[in-house]
Structure 1
């Protein structure tokens, strides 16, 4: 059947430092652990849109990073951050013919190009502490708009997948190479400004006879120190899942969802916001369609998520339109043996 579709790792205003994370929930979905039908090259292209917003805690974190929140200020932040992101992504994947540990090995590289428009508006009301300990009233209203069109970080990935009848298993390791557009003093970015490593495993149940399918992938992210801010985000956990029914051999409908939870506290000499653990969940519908493209197989998938239960992280909605092109399953050879009848 289909290989898991490598999607993206989006660097918008999301989680951890400033509410920004390496991992984008929804990265994996239905058929995630199913091996590719045949070895060789495949390509995945994605259009991704998200619209998110966040309140005081995330806004305060952004103010600090932008250098607009003095260290001697004690203030209440009544502000909101809003972001709209449009991304185009291309991932090239090579699936090896030689088994590795009895499984199918693949290596991928994903590149991102798109736009990020982010705004912050609100007030800071509090007191400034002077050198002698005296305090002074402080009040300010901020309105910041930031936008850019640029490349995001590069995302390499290596994965192994195994098939055992209707049961499929996978393990993967991926990383963030901080090559994308990033400035610590800019509100909108398409890179995260630091290295990250993510690894995990997944399972897919898929029965072609009944059309029933269920997939889930669990992973963990380790974030390195951001050299620009000396801020290190804590370890993150993420669970992506998809459930679908193939109505025919071509049409698929179902649900997708995710849970994202930061496990470790943020740290580093640049951390002025404390632990700042973040969390978000999302769920939504999906529809997929499989069709031949010459001697290749095409797969088109549309899915969307509505987010809820967020903490220290923007939330909103996002939609993914994915097109995957991969080698079709080999055609069984036609027998040339003479037919004998009695």
Structure 2
């Protein structure tokens, strides 16, 4: 470890990285298909009124978000937050979303083949050397936005910087239909004012421990040595040390590994009561969350696996437009899936929870303060 720390940090600012993030993608596709929904609060979820109060929000349009509705929220809660005359639930249509995503990626390939897809609705592009031979990255971003709007009738927000970390920060800054650039000379001041809670990978527990070290902003983080951060946070300490200085040398990887992390438990005798299912799902959710934290990963899909005494196995999944990794959210989604699809008539001899479509936590969604 000591030998590793002796390697000096180097700033590489010659790359041009673009992060494209579609605006409320699933909801926007549904509104495109059904223009009469444009003024409504569109929540992508099965209607809990038709589903015994069960269901989880996949995403919501910006009208619904103004009322506090967000991804992974119980659908029944949206009923309480949004006026009934404004609210409409739309079940997700992932086959359609995949078709539209493929159209968007065709546009990306007109610019570069150095593309790292993060999900159906976002990707990193390295446009340092691009097929359009355009040196002005802002013009490239405008061209991408225009082509996506022209061919799909959908909008996106784009972040531009010299690395992936800052490009992702920039794309989240000014949604929807945003276009934000963070230049090398701007990064230090911007990050110094950024609340530590908005640094990638900083969950509630890490934030609390950083507060104990009097770290509340990126500027405070700069005062901690690399060794101190490693001692407290191991590998994540190195990431925090680099990110506070605007450093992220990770390349745009065209073939991103699709990983998953899951845990399951077998029961003999089988489970016969909902209360026991609930307890077991809480335990499994805790194990999955711990495994995700250990590998510094999070994902957008939660899968519930159920097997009865007849050895019939059922899997149900829920996709989201936000990343998740915390125990409470994983349990909430798994429990909602059980309430919707679970069946105790033949007993339950196996339960499992898996989180898939994983990426490093450095691609976490954050809310940003105003920055010009």
Normalising by the residue count of structure 1, what TM-score does the alignment of the two structures yield? 0.23
* Structure with the higher strand share, 1 or 2: 1
* Structure with the higher helix share, 1 or 2: 2
Q: Which protein is bigger by CA-based radius of gyration?
A: 1
Normalising by the residue count of structure 2, what TM-score does the alignment of the two structures yield? 0.21
